[in-house]
Amino acid sequence: MEQRHNDFYCKLRKKINKYLFNHKQHKYGDILLLAPDLFHLLVKLSLDNRVPAAKKAKFLGVIAYFISPVDLFPELIVGPIGYFDDIALAAWVLNDYINATDPVIVRELWAGDQDILSSIKNILSVSDQLIGKGLWKKLRRKF
């Protein structure tokens, strides 16, 4: 699993960096850049002996969602912007884990540059605007 993790992680990082290089003014670029690090964290947590099996199952489900070409916003169709739903799901599951346990393990395994707890809070707030309530408000206005 480690080799597949590294391959996906590297490909994802390259894809997002290339996309953001071409779209320098992307409003949510900082969130998109978290995708590889969130994926990495999910893999590390799913392999950690200190994490309960039920939580590992959730992490593995999100990992599968990251890798799957079939999801809410398919990356094959919309490009790297399609990782927003993957990122939101990862943040939601990680937030659930952090609220149920001490965040020490998450902080220890986090490879990103930003504070993980602040990042999750930011992702949840933005995803609520884009995917949650905000999306439904936009759809209701149109119909």
Nearest to 63 by CA among 86, 32, 95: 86
For residue 119, is pLDDT > 90? yes
Question: pTM of this prediction?
Answer: 0.78
Contact of 68 with 82, CB cutoff 8 Å: no
Contact of 1 with 43, CB cutoff 8 Å: yes
Phi-psi domain of 35 (left: phi exceeds 0; alpha: psi -120 through 50; beta: other): alpha
> Residue 2: pLDDT band by 50, 70, 90 thresholds?
low
Q: Return mean pLDDT, the chain.
A: 82
Residue 51 DSSP one-character state: S
For residue 21, is pLDDT > 70? no
For residue 50, is pLDDT > 70? yes
Kindly list the domain boundaries of the chain, sorted by start residue: 2-142
